[in-house]
Amino acid sequence: MPQMSDAVVTRFAPSPTGYLHIGGARTALFNWLYARGRGGKFLLRIEDTDRARSTPEAEKALLQGLSWLGLDFDDEVVSQFARADRHREVALQLLAEGKAYKCFSTQDEIQAFRDAAKAEGKSTLFQSPWRDADPATHPDAPYAVRLKSASEGETIIKDEVQGEVRIKNATLDDMILLRSDGSPVYMLAVVVDDHDMGVTHVIRGDDHLNNAARQMGIYTAMGWALPVYAHIPLIFGADGKKMSKRHGATGAHEYQHLGYPAAGMRNYLARLGWSHGDDEFFTDAQAKEWFDLDGIGKAPARFDFKKLDNICGQHIAASEDDVLVDELLEFMGATGLPALSDEQKNTVKQAMFCLKERAKTFPDLLDKGQFAIATRPIVPDEKSAKALDTVSRGMLTALTPHLQNASWVREDLEKILGDFAEARETKFGKLAGPLRAALAGRAATPSVFDMMLVLGREETLARLTEAAETN
RNA sequence: GCUCCGUUCGUCUAUCGGUUAGGACGCCAGGUUUUCAACCUGGAAAGACGAGUUCGAUUCUCGUACGGAGUACCA
């Protein structure tokens, strides 16, 4: 009997400093899948406390990226910056309870200490002399508020992905909660926000694994229940190095512009570093049902465009025609391609059955379906123009009457063209080239019969006649 | 430097002490064919290295190598 307290709450908490990175998109996806598969909530928090680097444009890009990927979140977007007073309040409470203290060491002093320690090859861990100082000795100067964390024993992070990670408390410093200007620090903000938002599962990149030990100190000082942690490995480029521009697309929006279907992206990204037995291709419903933290691998995975292509191709092939047309139009709008006329849309939809089996992306779909979008006159490209020599044009002229009264079904068309070829003592293959050139202006197209069926008798004959007449 | 994490075919992964180490992408060969695809059949391809525990290690422990993260009054 699930209770209110059992409800899963996950969150995605990006900084608005750029576009939605593909790695971040995967982190968001994992959180989304985990919550959605358990009837929980998936929240979005914008970590905009760094005013210098945060921009409204970046926040918008983040939202757009998530929206494209279909990762819908619950409740309002939370701005971390807007909650600074609450963060401060917690720090002050800790200070009042003696779980934090005022540190008057200046940044210069600390830096000097660290430099010296480094030069001597000793630990650069700063231990504030003010930790146990008598308040009577406090100077009248700016101070930072530091958490009085345990200096002995060890902190054990029970991580769903990494297992039990033990970190000696002696290697952790007394982290700063409030800067000397009174502003709360990120580490504090994260903990307070996660707690206040009721986050039960923190699924994030493993670059935060070490931070978890520090953050746990705040939870315990406040007497708050710890969330379940799952630190997932980052994704790398094909060469095993951190994803960067030279690996190709790093932003989620770039994949949209490359024409990958969102469902395929979700499938590929979910499968990257996570597995459910041998399942490779799955629907959102299956992913939500299957996704679990213990299926996440510990090693960073490399991004593989070939496999992305393959998975996306399967998703396109498995999609309904009208859904595909809608997505295709959306893609064209997003990339600034000219809009299609209603007639073109309709023809593309009619053609979808023979296009979707062979396309991996929307541009691919558009390319393969070019014959359905093209309008007369069909201008053959260089390659197909060669198939329209005098002899071929003569052939097309001779063929046209045979199609005039044909019943427009595949079986009959096959027979007519087959017989026609036979009568001319040639093979259908010889006929296919010119037909392709006439119908599509291309050398590589879907099946000649499929094109004829999609185009219909009138349009087919018009294109054939035109091609036969052209010089 | 110190702390922490990781390492199975080229890539993503399965395996939860005993397997001919399985699947998928990619690749190669063959088939189908009307071009390009798609599709079908088959094939090559892996436990980083070294110790230890054990009747038996890919699996458990330790070390080495390599890779990564953290070590801020950044987020």
- The span from the CA of A42 to the CA of A29, in Å, is 10
Q: In what order do the strands lie in the sheet with A100-103?
A: A100-103, A144-147, A176-178
DSSP structure string for A145-210:
EEE----SSEEEEEETTTEEEEEEGGGS---EEE-TTSPBPHHHHHHHHHHHTT--EEEEEGGGHH
Q: How do residues A63-120 score in pLDDT, each as one tens digit? A: 999 999 999 999 999 999 999 999 999 999 999 999 999 999 999 999 999 888 888 8
Indicate the pLDDT class of residue A124, thresholds 50, 70 and 90: confident
Residue with CA nearest to B22's C1' atom: A278
What count of other Cβ atoms lies within 10 Å of the Cβ of residue A2?
A: 9
Catalytic residues of A: 245
Neighbours of A402 (CB within 10 A): 14
Q: Which of residues 78-137 of A touch strand B (CB under 7 A)?
A: 80, 103, 105-107, 110, 114, 121, 123-126
Show which positions of strand B are touched by protein (CB under 7 A). Answer: 1-8, 10-14, 22-26, 34-38, 67-75
Residue A90: name the closest of A5, A161, A15, A184 by CA.
Answer: A184
Question: In degrees rounded to 5, what are phi and psi of residue A113?
Answer: -60, -45
Distance A233 CA to B68 C1' (A): 9
Does A470 score more than 80 pLDDT? Answer: no
Determine the pLDDT at residue A77: 97
Residues 452-471 of A with CB under 7 A from strand B: none
pLDDT at A354: 94
- pLDDT range class, residue A5, cuts 50, 70, 90: low
pLDDT at A282 (0 to 100): 96
CA-closest candidate to residue A88, choices A158, A8, A182, A214: A182
pLDDT tens figures, A336-385: 999 999 999 999 999 999 999 989 999 999 999 999 999 989 999 988 88
Nucleotide nearest to A235 (CA to C1'): B68
Q: What is the pLDDT of residues A443-462, one digit of tens each?
A: 999 999 999 999 999 999 99
Tell me the C-alpha distance between A388 and A403, whole Å: 19
Torsion, Cα A349 A323 A363 A465, to 10 degrees, reads: 0
Which pLDDT band holds residue A1 (cuts at 50, 70, 90)? very low
- Contact in structure between A61 and A55 (CB atoms under 8 Å): no
Token code pair at residue A163: 């297992």
Distance A47 CA to B75 C1' (A): 8
Residue A471: its pLDDT value, please? Answer: 56
Proximity of residue A432 CB to strand B below 7 A: yes
pLDDT digits (tens, 9 = 90+) for A234-255: 899 888 888 877 777 889 999 9
Of all nucleotides, the one whose C1′ comes closest to residue A13's CA is B75
Taking residues A429-443, report their average pLDDT.
92
Is residue A176 over pLDDT 70? Answer: yes
A39 confidence band (pLDDT: 50, 70, 90): very high
Residue A430: pLDDT band with limits 50, 70, 90: confident
Q: How far apart are CA A410 and CA A407, in angstroms?
A: 9
Q: Determine the nucleotide nearest to A417 by Cα–C1' distance.
A: B34
pLDDT for A465 equals 94
> Residue holding tokens 């409470």?
A93
If pLDDT is split at 50, 70 and 90, which confidence band does A297 have?
A: very high
pLDDT of residue A2: 40
Q: How far is the CA of A202 from the C1' of B54 (A)?
A: 39
As a whole number, the mean pLDDT across chain A is 93
A441: left (phi over 0), alpha (psi -120 to 50) or beta: left
- For range A418-427, the mean pLDDT: 89
In the predicted model, what is the mean pLDDT of residues A4-11?
Answer: 82
Residues 316-335 of A with CB under 7 A from strand B: none
Strands A154-159 and A163-168: antiparallel
CA of A307 to C1' of B45 (A): 18
User: Residue A307: what pLDDT?
Assistant: 95
A366-CA/B39-C1' distance, Å: 22
Percent of chain A past pLDDT 70, that is, above it, reads 99
Cβ-based contacts (< 7 Å) between A 391-410 and strand B? none
Distance from CA(A273) to C1'(B7), angstroms, rounded: 14
Pairing of strands A144-147, A176-178: antiparallel
Taking only the tens place, the pLDDT of each residue in A246-290 is 777 889 999 999 999 999 999 999 999 999 999 999 999 999 999
Q: With a 7 Å cutoff on the CB, does A50 touch strand B?
A: yes
Provide the phi-psi class of A39: left if phi over 0, else alpha when psi is between -120 and 50, else beta.
Answer: left
Question: H or E segment at A45?
Answer: strand A41-46
How far apart are alpha carbons A193 and A142 in whole angstroms?
26
Residue A43 pLDDT class (50, 70, 90 cuts): very high
Contact yes or no for A225/A198 (Cβ under 8 A): no
Instruction: Give yes or no for CB of A290 within 7 Å of strand B.
Output: no
CB A45 within 8 A of CB A193: yes
A232, A236, A240, A245 alpha-carbon torsion, rounded to 10°:
-160
Distance A106 CA to B6 C1' (A): 38
Any atom of strand B under 7 A from CB of A49? yes
Residue nearest to nucleotide B8 (CA to C1'): A299
